Chain A
Amino acid sequence: MDLNILWFILLTILFSGFFFLEGFDYGVGMLLPFVAKTDQERRAVINTIGPVWDGNEVWMIVAGGAMFAAFPHMYATLFSGFYVALIFMLIGLIVRGVSFEFRSKRENPRWRKTWDWTIFFGSLIPALLWGVAITNLMRGVAIEGDMNYYGGLLPLLNPYALFGGLTFLGLFIIHGASFLAIKLEGDVHTRVKSLSGKLWIAAIVLAVAFLVWSYLATDILNNPGWDGLIPAILAAVSLLAYGWFLRRGREGLTFLSGGLVIILATVMVFSGLFPRLLISTLDPSNSLTIYNAASGPYTLKVITIVTAIFLPFVLLYQGWTYWIFRKRISPDTPDLHY
C-alpha cells in the first residue's frame, strides 16, 4: 500500500471522527430549542457538550489541514469552488462557537433567547451544508481541465445534493438526541426520549430514499474501485439497530448505533469515491485522484510520521475527557459554566 492510499484512509478516518463527534454537537444544537423548556434546562443541554465541543471541532480543522497537506489540489479546488457555500458555513460555525461562551454571561432573557437561536442556526447551517457538500462530491461537479470548478453556487444546490443535506441533518439530529439521552436527567431527558422515536422514523425514510437516489444518480454504490455498497448496507443495519435499542431503552447502545451509522456513511462515501477525490462531470480525466492531487512523497512521509506519533495521544486524551465528564447533567445543578 502506498502513502497516497494510506492518506486516503487517514482522511476517511478524520472525516469519520469529525462527523461522529461534531455530528452530535450539531444535533444537540438543533434540538436545543425543542427539548428544553426552562432556562436551566437549556443550560443543562448546552453543558452536555460544554467540555467537549471545542475539541470535537478540531477534528474538522485537522481534516481540513490534512487535506491541505496530503492532497493540496483537493483542498484548493473544493474550498475555492464551493466558496459561497463555505462562507455560509463559516458564518454558522463562528456564530455557534461564541454563542456557547456568550450566552450565560448576561441574565437578560432576550439576550439568552437570541443566543439559543444562534446556536440552533449555527448548528443547522454547517450540518446541512456539509451534507450538501459531501453529496456533491458523490455526484461530481463540473471540474475543468485546470482542476478548477467555475460553476458557482447554484449548480451545487441541486435537488439531489439538497436531499443529501437533509439526510445528513437527520442523522446528526438522531445522533444528538441519543447523546442527550445518555447525558441528561429529569424532565428534559424524558422529552428527548419521547421525541427520539419520531425522529428515528424520519431518519429512516430519508436514509432509504437517499440510498436509492444515490444508486440512480451516482456510481458510489457500484464503484469499480472500492465498493460503497457494503458500508451502505451496514449503515442501514446500524440505523435499524438504533431504533431497536431505542425501543428497549438501551441508551448507550442507541448512541453507539447512531455513531456507527455516521461512520459507515462516511466510509461509504469515501470508498465509493476511491481512488478519486473530486469527480469531474465534464470529463473523467479532469477528476482529482489520490495521485494527481497529492503532495510529493517526502511531505506524505513527514506527515505520516507526525500523525503516527500524535494521533494516538489525541485519541487517548480526548477519550480521557469523556471519562472525566461521564456523569449525567441535571437541570438542578446550581453552577453550570455555560
Chain B
Amino acid sequence: MDPVILSRWQFAITTIFHFFFVPVTLGLALFVAILETKYVTSGDELYKKMVKFWSKIFLINFAVGVVTGIVQEFHFGLNWSGYARFMGDIFGAPLAIEGLMAFFMESTFIGVWIFGWDKLSKGAHAAVAWLVAIGSNLSSLWILTANSFMQNPVGYAIRDGRAEMTDFWALLGNPNVWHQFPHVTAAGIAIGGFLVLAFSAWHLLQNKAESKEFFKRSLRWAAVYGLIGALLVGLIGHAQGQFLARSQPLKVAAMEGHWESETPASFSVIAVIDQKNQRNTFDVKIPKALSFLLFNNFKTGFPGLVDLQEAERDKYGPGDYIPPVTLSYWSSRTMIGIGLLMILVSGLAAWWSWRDKIMDRRWFLKILIPAGLLPTIASIAGWLVAETGRWPWIVHGLQRIEDAVSPSITPGNIVFSLTTFLVLYTVLGTVGVALMLKYGKSEPVIAEGKGE
C-alpha cells in the first residue's frame, strides 16, 4: 500500500468528519449569541429558554468539533512532514496565530458561558456569547488564510528549497481568503439555521400546546437566519467562481466538465464524464452560459482541460494535471443545486412564518426535517471541489502531494492510525448525533422557574 494514498485517505476522512461539526459550531454560536442579545434587550424570558435549549445541541456538537480539531493540528507533522518542512514558514504562522487569537478566546469563554449563568450579569453573559461566536469564526479566518496559500500562493519566496514568507499582509490579503472566508461563514449560518429549522419543525408536528409558541418563534428566527446564510453563500460562491476562473482555471474546468477550449464557452447542465479519453460521452449544454457565469458576458472564452493540461505540462514538466473530473463535476453540481434549493426552502419558511401560515402547511414542516442536512451536504461537496481541484499539487505550483508525505512513517503505521480513527470516529459520531437527537427532541422547559 502506498503511504501517500493512505495518508490522503486519512486526512480526507478525519477532515470531513471534523467539518461535519465545525460549521454547526460557527453557525449556532452566532445564532445563540443573537438570541441571547434579544433576551437581554427585550427581557423576554422565552428567549432565554430558547438560548438554553438550542445551546444543548450546540455544546454536544462543540465537544466533538473540538476534539477532532486536535488531530488536524498535528496532522501536518504526523503524515505530512515534507509539507511541514517546506511550508512551515507560511503555514505554521497562521496556525499559531489561530491558536493565540481565536482558539484561546473561543475555548476560554465557552467555559465561562456554560458555567457562568449565575456568576455574571445578563449583559456580560451575552457579551461572552459573542466572544465565543467571534472566536470560533476568527479561527476559520486563520485556517482559511493558511489554506488559501495552498490554492493561490502569495507573499513568499523560495529559499533553500523552502517557501519562506516575505509579506504577511499579502498572505492575509490573499483574494482567495476573502472569497473563501465569507463563503464558509455564510455556509455556517445556513447550516445552523437549517438545523434549528429541522428540530423546530419536528416539534411543531407533535402538536404540543405548551411548546408551540417556543418552536414557532425558534422557527421564525431560524428561517430568517438560514435565508440570510443561503443568500450570502450563493452570492459569494458566485463571486468565488469568477475569481477561481482566473486563479485556478483547471479547478473550474474540472468543476464544469469542460474539456475543449471554447469562445464563447457553453455550460454543461448534465454530462457523463470519461476522464480517460478526456471527453464527455453524454452532454447537455447551454451555449454561452459558462462565459456569462464566469465573466458576466456572452463573449469571453474559457480554456478547456485538454489545453490547460498542455500548458501545465509545458510549465512544470510531464505529469497529469487534471483533477478528478467526475468528482469535481458532481460535487459542484450538488453544492450549487442544494444552494438554490436552500434559498427556496428557507425563503418559504421565512415567508410563511412571517404571515403565521406555517402551522397550516404540515407537508412543508415535514420537508424541513430532512432539509436540515442540506447545507451540510453542500458544504462537504464544496470542500471536495476545493481540495481535489488542487490536484496534483498540495501547494499550487510549488509542492506536489507525493513530496509532502512523511518519509519516516510506514504503511503499517498508517493502516493502524486510519483504522483507529475510523473506529473511534464512528463511535464518536454515533454517540454525538444520538445525543443531539435526544436533546433536540426533548421538551424545552417552558413553565416558570429554573430554566434548566
Contacts and interface: CB of A to CB of B under 8 A. Distances in A.
A90 interface: yes
A324 B406 contact: no
Contacts of B438: 105-106
A335 interface: yes
B150 to A, nearest CB: 15
A150 interface: yes
Contacts of B408: 80-81, 83, 148-150
B431 A51 contact: no
Contacts of B66: 54, 97
Contacts of A149: 408
Given A77-B81, A324-B112, A299 B92 contact: yes
Given A65-B98, A83-B409, A55 B90 contact: no
A131 B84 CA distance: 24
Contact of A66 (B68, B96, B108): B96
B20 to A, nearest CB: 14
Contacts of B84: 68, 72, 75-76, 79
A197 interface: no
Contacts of B104: 55, 58, 62, 310, 314, 318
Contact of B417 (A61, A87, A306): A87
Contacts of A72: 84-85, 87-89, 92
Contacts of A306: 93, 96-97, 100-101
A195 B111 CA distance: 29
B428 A57 contact: no
A94 B68 contact: yes
A302 B79 CA distance: 27
B101 A310 contact: yes
A216 interface: no
Interface in B165-187: 165-166, 168
Nearest to A78: B77
Contact of B88 (A76, A87, A96): A76
Contact of B77 (A51, A76, A152): A76
Contact of B164 (A55, A100, A298): A298
B interface, how many residues as a size bin?
Answer: 35 or more
Interface string B415-452: 01100100010001001100100110000000000101
Contact of B424 (A61, A95, A303): A95
Interface stretch (B56-64, B195-203, B219-227): B56-64
Contacts of B410: 152
Given A51-B111, A299-B165, A65 B95 contact: yes
A1 to B, nearest CB: 20
B70 A93 contact: yes
B164 A299 contact: yes
A38 B107 CA distance: 29
A337 interface: yes
Contact of A91 (B82, B100, B420): B420
Given A68-B96, A72-B85, A101-B60, A298 B166 contact: yes
B88 A68 contact: yes
Contacts of B60: 101-102, 105
Contact of B93 (A51, A62, A69, A146): A69
A275 interface: no
Contacts of B416: 84, 87
B73 interface: yes
B435 A105 contact: yes
A64 interface: yes
Interface of A: 47, 50-55, 57-58, 61-62, 64-73, 75-81, 83-84, 86-87, 90-91, 93-98, 100-102, 105-106, 146-150, 152, 295-296, 298-299, 302-303, 306-307, 310-311, 314, 317-318, 321, 324-325, 335, 337
Task: Give the top 3 A-B pairs by smallest Cβ distance, nearest first.
Answer: A72-B88, A79-B77, A69-B92
